[in-house]
Amino acid sequence: MSQRFGGRYSPNAQPSAPRPAPKPHPVGARVNLLFVVPFLFAIGAFFKDPAGLTLNLVAFGTLMLAAWLTREGVIAQAAYEARKVARRPAIPRKIFASVLTGAGLGLAALPSGLIAALLLGGMGAVLHFGAFGPDPMRDKGMEGIDSFATDRAAKAVEEAETYLAEIADAIKRSGDRALMRRIDGFSANIRQFFRVIESDPRRLNAARRYLGIYLVGARDATVKFADLYARSHDKEARAEYEALLDDLESRFALRREALLADDRTELEIEIEVLRERLEREGLRTSE
């Protein structure tokens, strides 16, 4: 028996949260260029003597490692900046990448002399640091928050992020670009819910079903739908799947608003208690 989903086009539909435009990927042309430049040294290595060949190949490997660390550092910083509460990256990837960039360029220039190698290596490290900056060096928004609760919330959100990634991977099998964009918008809306949990880890217990059961169900439904749609391009199945996404977005948006409303209620109660205490102490001024 088919199951009816309450999507945005249903008579009893609830308004879903506006879909933010997907953000561009943090890895841009500057980072990708770092993976191209080392090949200049790899190609040039085969036109040198054995010592020069060895230096160029070692420089190539060092610069490729620096490029990889830069990419990972840029991605880590984008995730850090997107969250209200975040721990600093455990490894300062971009700083290490600046050092390795200088080392790689210095090795390549070593046949021209030690001074040239030091100058080129130092300039490369400084330019890399200037282009990509340092890694975040301190935790953000964690003042007064229990570290154990924060770690629990971070772990739960990280697990939920894996479900979103699996949903995105599964929908690619459908071969439908419009659905892929739809999943990007869906994920962006769900991440707004994640940010609410991260900003106050005490909300985790009230949100566990959403971070676990609902997203696991969405992942499983996406896997089944993608396999079916890749074979048959069933329009009815697609409509039901999109209705499911709309329903889930509405549920997450409503739960997010409920969590924020609870915060406002708690604040109003604290303010009222403070007013009563001031009145008892005779310290409250007339309004």
User: What b/e readout covers 85-118, taking b as 16+ CB neighbours within 10 angstroms?
Assistant: bbbbbeebbbbbbbbbbbbbbbbbbbeeeeeebe
Q: Is 210 exposed, middle or buried (0-12, 13-18, 19+ CB in 10 A)?
A: buried
CB within 8 Å of 133: residues ≥ 6 apart: 94
Which tokens in the block code for residue 13? Answer: 């539909």
- pLDDT tens-place values along the chain, 287 residues long: 344 444 444 444 444 445 555 556 666 788 889 999 999 999 988 888 888 889 999 999 999 999 999 999 998 888 788 776 667 888 899 999 999 999 999 999 998 899 999 999 999 999 999 999 999 888 776 665 666 777 788 888 888 989 999 999 999 988 888 999 999 999 998 888 888 887 777 788 888 888 888 899 999 999 999 988 888 888 898 999 999 999 988 888 888 888 877 655 554 555 565 655 556 555 544 44
| Rounded Cα distance, 200 and 109, in Å | 52
Which tokens in the block code for residue 204? Answer: 């985790």
Q: Give pLDDT, residue 87.
A: 73
SS3 assignment, position 217: helix
CB within 8 Å of 96: residues ≥ 6 apart: 66, 69
